[in-house]
Amino acid sequence: MSPLPARLDDAGDPGIMRRREWFRKLVGGLIGIGLLLVPLGTGLLFLLNPLRRRADQHGFSRVASVDSLPMGTPRHFMVRGRRRDAWEVGAQVPLGAVYLVRQETGIRAFQVICPHAGCFVGFETVKRRFLCPCHDSSFGLDGAISDPESPSPRGLDELDVKIEKGEVLVRYQEFRPGVRERIAVS
């Protein structure tokens, strides 16, 4: 009594056996890749979604009245506007803040976020300069870097300002910190 061969037709043919073995490995490998690719690939696309989101493009919003600005002393004001954040869309939500500087030549607006690492820049009344409380970047009243040792790669980011009927309107924007060029976050 001899044991039955596994398959009657190819019993004993080593070539066929090798080819079948090789084919099994190939298909097994492909199945393995498929098992990984479906969750990993779809998961990756899911995680990459923020790359497709765009930052809000803001119009001008009213932040203060001209009369309320003292000459030569910057003051920060909250800016409200429309903001889309994932599922949520708000019409008049706080977006951030700006410094308004009133001088004889007119009113200028600066983003309060330090172009170095993103802290809220303060103003030193005595020394008459903007000073970042984080890494000591300092800026003059015109927003330019006032100390060559400042860690900031550029001056404060100036924002577009409009005066209408005694009111100051500002177009709110944020910029990428840490680079010399002014690149709006988009």
Partner 1 sequence: MSPLNDWLDRRTGYRRLVSWLLYESIPGGARWRYVWGSTLVFTFLLQLFTGLLLWTAYSPSIRAAWESVYFIQHQMELGWFIRGLHHYTSHAMIVLLVLHLLQVVIAGAYRAPREINWWFGLLLMGLVVGTALTGYLLPWDERGYWATQVTTKILGIVPLLGPTLERLLLGGPTYGHHTLTRFFALHAGLLPALMVLATVLHVVLFRRHGVTHSEDTKGADYFWPRQAFLDGLACLAVLLVLAALAGWGGWDRGFVFGPEGGAPLDAPADPSRPSPSARPEWYLLFLYQFLKYFPGRSEVIGAVVIPSFVAGVMVCFPFLGRIRRGHALCLGITFATLTGALLLTVTAIREDQTRPMYQAGLAGAEKKTRRILELARENGIPPDGALAMLHRDPQTQGPPLFRDNCSACHRWDGHDGTGAQVTEVRDGVSVAVPPSASDLAGFGTPEWVAEFLKDPSGDRFFGQTRHREGTMVQWARKNIPLLTEREIEAVSAFVIHQPDDAESAVADPELMALGARVFSSGNSAGAQECVMCHQLDHPEVSGSGIALGPELTGYGSPEWLGGIIMDSSLPRFYGSQNSGMPKFAHRLRDQELQLLTDWILEESHTGN
Q: Which amino acid is at 20?
A: R
Q: Does 186 bind partner 1 (CB under 8 A)?
A: yes
Minimal distance, residue 114 CB to partner 1, in Å? 9
Instruction: Tell me the number of residues near partner 1 by CB under 8 A.
Output: 60
Token digits of residue 124: 């030193």
Of residues 29 and 90, the one with the C-beta less far from partner 1 = 90
Is residue 71 within the footprint of partner 1 (CB under 8 A)? yes
Cβ neighbours for 168, distance < 8 A, ≥ 6 positions apart: 62, 63, 64, 65, 66, 69, 100, 107, 109, 161, 162
168 within 8 A of 65, measured Cβ to Cβ: yes
16 alpha-carbon distance from chain centroid: 59
**Interatomic CA distance for residues 39 and 36, integer angstroms:** 6
Taking CB under 8 A as the criterion, the residue among 82, 140, 151, 171 binding partner 1 is: 151
* Residue range at the interface with partner 1 (CB under 8 A); choices 11-19, 25-33, 34-42, 92-100: 92-100
- Could you give the CA distance from residue 61 to residue 92 in angstroms, rounded to a whole number? 10
Using CB under 8 A as the binding rule, whether residue 45 contacts partner 1 is answered as no
Select the residue interacting with partner 1 from 55, 89, 144, 163 (CB under 8 A): 55
Q: Which of 10, 167, 171, 175 binds partner 1 (CB under 8 A)?
A: 167
For residues 142 and 117, what is the distance between their CA atoms, to the nearest angstrom?
20
Binding residues (CB under 8 A) for partner 1: these are: 47-48, 50-51, 53-55, 64-65, 67-73, 75-79, 85-88, 94-97, 112, 116-120, 122, 124-126, 128, 131, 133-136, 148-153, 167, 174, 176-180, 185-186
